Amino acid sequence: MMAATKDNPMKKLHVVVTIDIEVPTCDSHPSASGPPDHEKGGAWAQAYGEIAKSFAMPVTYFIHPEVAVRQADLYKKLESQGHCLGLHIHAWRFDRRYQCEFGGLTEDQARQMLSEATGMWMTAFGQRPRHFRPGTMSANDSIFRVLSSLGFAGAAVSLPGRVFPQKHAVWAGAPLDPHRGHSHFRMLEGDLDVVNMPMSVDTSIVVEKNGLRFLRDLRPDFMDVNHRELVTRCIDQTMARDPDVACINLVTHNDFDFSDAKSEITRNFVKTLTAICDVCSERDINWVGSTMDDICSEVLSSPTKPYQFNPNGGRVMFDKDARPKA
Ligand SMILES: [Zn+2]
């Protein structure tokens, strides 16, 4: 591998470690994601942060508002240690009137729910939430317009390749790298001040399971993958795209006991972070542990790319126009 020189500077890669902090299943539903109770949920979230910190990677915690209120001191402490906080909502867990995930809400319902959750966040932390991730990565085309109008800076709302229509979570063909949100089409880069950080995925293998289609991301909960190979493919694909802001990010949930070093999920998490460091070192990539705050600053300081319309319509799929010319 070529060493970095003045003419060939080391490439930079942001590594963003995230976790969704769920309402405990004792307060939601036995089959839902989440820890069994608040005490374990908090301890496991903290243990996750300690592992990431040992790799010099801060964590961005996306916290369900009820948990933010209940465990505000814990998350304030984590923030003071360099971690970052954002809001997480599963629509049906937040308000039982809605039997759907966030993308199933109308624009007014979404705005109302985010405003109510913001009120709870203010109670917990004395300030508005800056970032948002919907449960199950469920969102419709109003998402960035709504987040922008409510003053959110960062969104981690898309999981490219995911096709879960019943969850209002369809992201096949979505942008793969951090970008500004679009005011009325979630699948395109736009010009809003709200920044979306798509989850990192391996685009080389489309997985079909139980009638659902998805690409694999870097979550440690996947038991049937080689985490090192997955990391290698995600990093190589990201660097080959050469985006304005190169970022690898991963997610999990506080369902798992990250204080148990022997558990398979904890070992997978450590394997994944170790692999990120190793692969970057092998490829002369200068990785830096970053948060959603950092990704927002980087994207907002990059130039916006104006949308270019091409009038070729559906003929975009053919190499040439075969119609007789007049
Ligand atoms: Zn969730």
Q: Looking at the predicted structure, is the pLDDT value of residue 160 above 60?
A: yes
Do the domain assignments include residue 325?
Answer: no
Do the domain assignments include residue 118?
Answer: yes
CA–CA dist 83, 292 (Å, integer)? 10
Please give the distance, rounded to the nearest whole angstrom, from the Cα atom of residue 301 to the centre of ligand 1.
30
The whole-number pLDDT of residue 230 equals 98
Percent of the chain with pLDDT over 90: 85
Please give the distance, rounded to the nearest whole angstrom, from the Cα atom of residue 322 to the centre of ligand 1.
49
Please give the distance, rounded to the nearest whole angstrom, from the Cα atom of residue 100 to the centre of ligand 1.
13
Do the domain assignments include residue 19?
Answer: yes
Do the domain assignments include residue 124?
Answer: yes
Nearest residue to 270 via CA among 298, 231, 299, 244:
231
Write down the pTM of the prediction.
0.95
The count of structural domains within the chain is 1
- 166-184 tens-digit pLDDT: 999 999 999 999 999 999 9
Please give the distance, rounded to the nearest whole angstrom, from the Cα atom of residue 138 to the centre of ligand 1.
10
CATH number at residue 43: 3.20.20.370
- 188-208 tens-digit pLDDT: 999 999 999 999 999 999 999
Residue found by looking up tokens 């800076």 in the block: 153
Please give the distance, rounded to the nearest whole angstrom, from the Cα atom of residue 120 to the centre of ligand 1.
18
Please give the distance, rounded to the nearest whole angstrom, from the Cα atom of residue 99 to the centre of ligand 1.
15
Do the domain assignments include residue 323?
Answer: no
The whole-number pLDDT of residue 5 equals 56
Structural domain range at position 59: 11-317
Can you tell me whether residue 217 is helix, strand or coil? strand
Average pLDDT over residues 233-260: 97
> What DSSP designation does 181 have?
P
**Helix and strand counts by DSSP (H, E) for the chain:** 9, 13
Please give the distance, rounded to the nearest whole angstrom, from the Cα atom of residue 135 to the centre of ligand 1.
4
